[in-house]
Amino acid sequence: MVSNKEIEKLFDRWNPNNIRTGDRVTVSIGQKYQARIVGLEIDLKNKKVYANLKLVDNTRRSPIRVDVADCYLSKGIYVGHHTGG
């Protein structure tokens, strides 16, 4: 059995870009697209953290579950009153 402290250390190791739920990201997996992280899951067997995504452009057929290492923080992907748009 793995302790919570050990799981947190593994999570940090397998999440090199320090992505968190709610972050706006650019996903790069051969194609690039933008999304928001709606959940993170650690997979101890495969030694990965998976990101569950909400796509910005729902018309594209892009994966909604990817390795979190393929996600990079981005800013300003949603136009709103904070960006003057």
Pick the CATH number of 4-73 from 1.10.10.10, 3.40.50.980, 2.40.110.20, 2.30.30.140: 2.30.30.140
Summarised one tens digit per residue, pLDDT across range 30-66 is 999 999 999 999 999 999 999 999 999 888 889 999 9
Alpha helices in 1-85 (DSSP H): 4-14
Tell me the average pLDDT of the chain: 88
Question: Could you give the CA distance from residue 46 to residue 65 in angstroms, rounded to a whole number?
Answer: 15
> pTM above the 0.85 mark?
no
Parse the chain into domains and list their residue ranges. Answer: 4-73
Residue pair 71/26 in contact by the 8 Å Cβ criterion: yes
